[in-house]
Copies of this chain bind each other. A is one copy, B any other.
Amino acid sequence: MAEMKIVALAGGVGGAKLADGLAQVLQPDQLTIVVNTADDFKHLGLRISPDLDTVCYTLAGLANPDTGWGRDNETWNVFTQLKQMGMPDWFQLGDSDLATHIVRTTRLNAGWSLSQITEDFCRLWGIRFQILPMSDQVIQTQVYCDDGVLEFQEYFVHRKCVPVVKGFNFMGIENSTPAPGVINAIEKADAVVICPSNPWVSIDPILSIPKIQAAIKEHLVIAISPIVGSRTIKGPAAKMFTELGIEPSAFAVAQHYGSIIDGFIIDNSDDELVGKIDNLGIRIYTTDIVMHDQKDRGRLAAEVINQINSWEKVM
């Protein structure tokens, strides 16, 4: 474990929690976190990167522990004014969070890349681990719904995931390249960990970048299920499976990732799925995967690392 190098692929809240756990049990040079940016959008002229912010705030100890997104001890003065001035209020912008978006937008306009900006934020916030956007290019998740095509945040936040999903498109993904450092980190990694994030809209965009897809093939890839029983721990993943005609379960997630993953970690309560997942040719481990607190994150991360060690030996 002392020399093991890990690349974690993460979306928002669930991904941030496991990334935080991995940061508890690994040294800075052992962990690179690659974060989904296909949720990024422009709002009130500001470039917002929800998953990057959630991961950075979480690792910096600045995240709101109640919501899982946004900043702790947040104030809402500007947002209150904006609402009074008739601006859209479906996407909440706390004062400290707003500063992040203003700095990001200013830097992007000045020619910085998203990965340079993220590196600067990590330095500012004392994060010693490498956090990389999946790409410096603009890639945008479109959600095909029964009532039309929606931008991801429009679907996720504004429409509260109510529209029935028919499919997804990651605009710009075909010609996209990973951010600097991503491929290098994967090449040096002993394993790639797919965090318990939404497979459809958090992990699939990362895995759809052609060079990332190619690079991870050479590696041990293990995933942690974002679904326990038939429900998502947080977010619309289970609802998406159902609407796409698939019964939501950890098995459905394993099947979704298919040959991409070598190992899969599910919750103890999903014990009856072990045989089915094993039949897919995927190694399986069960434990308590729900992270209620900081301690759970570190404990689960340590189990993930142990499992990588044991699976590495037999592969």
Contact = CB atoms under 8 A, between A and B. Distances in A.
Contacts of A99: 78, 81-82, 85
Which of A44, A81, A109: most chain B Cβ within 10 A?
A: A81
Given A84-B124, A87-B102, A87-B103, 12 more contacts: A45-B102, A45-B105, A45-B109, A75-B75, A77-B95, A77-B96, A78-B78, A78-B95, A78-B96, A82-B102, A82-B103, A87-B106
A81 B106 contact: no
Contacts of A86: 103, 124
Nearest to A97: B81
Interface in A84-110: 84-87, 95-96, 98-100, 102-103, 105-106, 109
Contacts of A103: 82, 85-87
A100 B87 CA distance: 11
Contacts of A98: 78, 81, 98
26 contacts: A44-B102, A44-B105, A45-B45, A45-B46, A45-B102, A45-B105, A75-B77, A77-B78, A77-B95, A78-B78, A78-B96, A78-B98, A78-B99, A78-B102, A81-B95, A81-B96, A81-B98, A81-B99, A82-B103, A84-B124, A85-B99, A85-B124, A86-B124, A87-B103, A87-B106, A98-B98
Interface in A26-45: 44-45
Contacts of A84: 124
Interface in A68-87: 75, 77-78, 81-82, 84-87
A46 B46 CA distance: 10
Nearest to A103: B85
Nearest to A75: B77
List of 3 A-B pairs having minimum Cβ-Cβ separation, nearest first: A81-B99, A77-B95, A78-B95
Contacts of A82: 99, 102-103
A78 to B, nearest CB: 5
Contact of A45 (B75, B78, B95, B106): B106
